[in-house]
Amino acid sequence: MPVWLALVFSVLIGALYAVQSRVNGELGHQIGDGFTAAVISFGSGLVILSLGLIVSQRGRRGLQLVARAVKAKYLSWWHLLGGLAGALFVLSQGLVAAPLGIALFTVAVVAGQTVSGVLMDRFGIGPGGRRTLHASKIVGALLALVAVGFTVSGELRGSDALWLLALPLIAGIGQGWQQAVNGQVRVTAQSALTATFLNFLTGSIALVLAALVHGLVVGFALELPGNPWLYTGGLIGCIFIAGAALVVRTTGVLMLGLCIVAGQLVCALALDLLAPTQGHPLGVTTIAGTALALVAVVIAAVRWRRPGRAHS
C-alpha cells in the first residue's frame, strides 16, 4: 500500500474512533452501566466477525496459520491479547466519555496513544519492526500533544472530574500496543479478518467476565434504549480495528497514532457542528487545535533532510 494512501486511511480510522466514542458514551449514559454498554459493543462486533469467518475461507485459514505460528513460537501468545486493550478502550468510552465530554476524553486517549506509539516504534513491537525516531516524528508527536491540550484547555480549567482522565489515558497507551500486536497477527494470518476476530474474541471474554462481576456487586442493567444507532459501536470497531491492522505495517505505530489524532479531532469538530452535545459548544480553540494537529501530522510524516544531504 502506498504510504500516502495508508495515511489517508489512518485519518479515517481516527474519525471512526471519535464516532464510536460518541455512540458508546451515549449508550452507557442511557443504560446507566458502562460495563453493559461495553459488552454490547464488543459482543455485537464479535457476532459480525464470526459470520465473516463462516463465509471466508481465507479467514479460517488465518486461524490455522496463527495457531501454527504460536506453537512454533514464531508468534508469542501475548500477541493474541490485543483485544484486552480494545476492551479497556471501549469500557472507558461507556464509563467516562459522556461525563467528560468527547473533547476531554479524546485528549487523554491521544496523550496515551502518542506515548505508546513512540515506545512501540522504538522497541520494534509492530510488524514493521524497529523504526528510527527521526526528529520530525518527535516534533510531530509533541506538537500533537500541544494541539489537543490547547483544544480542551478551556474545559480542563476547574473540572471536578480530572481523575476520570486516568482511565482513557491508560486506554490510549493500550491502543498503541493493540495496533502493534494486531498488525503482527495480521501479517502472520495473512488476513485482517482473522486478526480482528481474535481481537474481539479476547476482548469480549474479558468484558463479559468484568460485567458479570460488576453486575453481581451492584446489579444488572435490564432496560435498554430503543435507538438503533446506539448499537452500531461494534460494527464501527470491526472496521477501524481491521483497518489499523492493515495499515500499521506501512505507517508504523507512531504515524498511525498521529493520523488517528488528526482524524479524531476533525471528526469531533464535525460532530460539534452537526450534532452538538449539551455543555460542549464549538469554540475557536477547537478549530485552531484541529488545524494545529493536522500540521503535526504533516511534520511527522515528512522526513526533513538537511540541504545538500544525499538522498538514500
Degrees to nearest 5, angle at CA 129 with 61 and 196: 35
DSSP state letter for 153: H
What is the average pLDDT value for the chain, to the nearest integer?
A: 82
Cell numbers placing 308: 545538500
The candidate with the shortest Cα–Cα distance to 28, out of 164, 175, 197, is 164
Q: How confident is the model at residue 152 (pLDDT cuts 50, 70, 90)?
A: low
Neighbours of 72 (CB within 10 A): 8
**Residue extents of the structural domains in the chain:** 3-303
For 244-294, how does the pLDDT look when each residue is reduced to its tens digit (9 = 90+)? 888 887 887 777 877 887 888 788 778 777 776 665 566 677 677 777 877
C-alpha cell at 47: 457476532
What is the reported pLDDT for 72? Answer: 93
How far apart are the C-alpha atoms of 70 and 68, rounded to whole Å? 5
Find the length of the chain: 312
pLDDT at 307 over 50: no
Instruction: Name the grid cell of 297.
Output: 501530522
Query: Taking the model in full, what pTM does it have?
Result: 0.78
Taking alpha carbons only, the member of 256, 253, 257 closest to residue 120 is: 253
